[in-house]
Amino acid sequence: MTALIALFWRDLRRAWGSGALWLPVVFFLLVATAFPFAVGPDAPLLARTGGGMMWVAALLAALLPIDRLVRPDREAGVLDQLAVRGFADEAVAAVKIAAHAVGFGLPLLVALLPAAALLAQDATRVHTLATGLALAIPALASLAVLSAALTANLKGGSAIGGLLVLPLAVPMLIFGAGMLDPSGRGAMKLLGAASLLLTVIGPFAAGAALRGLRE
């Protein structure tokens, strides 16, 4: 357990090192800043569409670090060293998912406030967005680590990884955006269920992909 905690802190340090902490935050804020320029300064329109746009931005922010999640560790031999020490690939994947969820999730939730202000979201919608994102972040992290593991051996893997993740993340996008609809009361439960399913499956699928990297 001590070793897995050490691995978690290492991954988190690497995620936040070299200013990488701000990457999803800046990306998220840039999208929120650019959106009003694209649709015009129409506050009611921004309030109505901004929530869905933030969900798309959050999804893409989760994919930004895909190239750094598994490939450097595979190339540096870190994954081999962990396997030699008897760590299950599923446990390593679970730690990587947890570290990625914290690494990009926490800054994203912080960035939600200024982004919501830029997009004329009221307090109720900000609360709903924050709840939905908090529910979805573990699943988004699972998908990101899974696609990082599947593409770590491929040239241009991050682009392919994005293509892999986006279709799998669509249910969360639908349910998450659905939470913003006053009539979509069941959307939060569906989002929670979809997120739980992906979060539980993620370590096993990503672990199998990590094992495949060694063969």
Q: How far is the CB of 67 from other proteins (least distance, A)?
A: 16
For residues 171-188, one letter each, b for 16 or more C-beta atoms within 10 angstroms of the residue's C-beta and e for the rest, the string is bbbbbbbbbbeeebeebb
**Does the protein bind other proteins through residue 81 (CB under 8 A)?**
yes
Among 22, 77, 127, 212, binds other proteins (CB under 8 A): 77
Among candidate residues 146, 129, 164, 158, the one with its CA nearest the CA of residue 57 = 129
Please identify, among the stretches 51-59, 63-71, 82-90, 129-137, the one whose residues bind other proteins according to the rule CB under 8 A: 82-90
Q: Within positions 32 to 71, which residues make up the interface with other proteins, using CB under 8 A?
A: none
Kindly state whether residue 18 participates in binding other proteins, applying the rule CB under 8 A.
Answer: yes
Q: 201 and 142 in contact (C-beta within 8 Å)?
A: yes
Among 26, 39, 78, 134, binds other proteins (CB under 8 A): 78
Distance in angstroms (rounded) separating the CA atoms of residues 172 and 34 = 24
Interface residues with other proteins (CB under 8 A)?
Answer: 2-3, 6-7, 10, 14, 17-18, 75-78, 80-86, 214-215
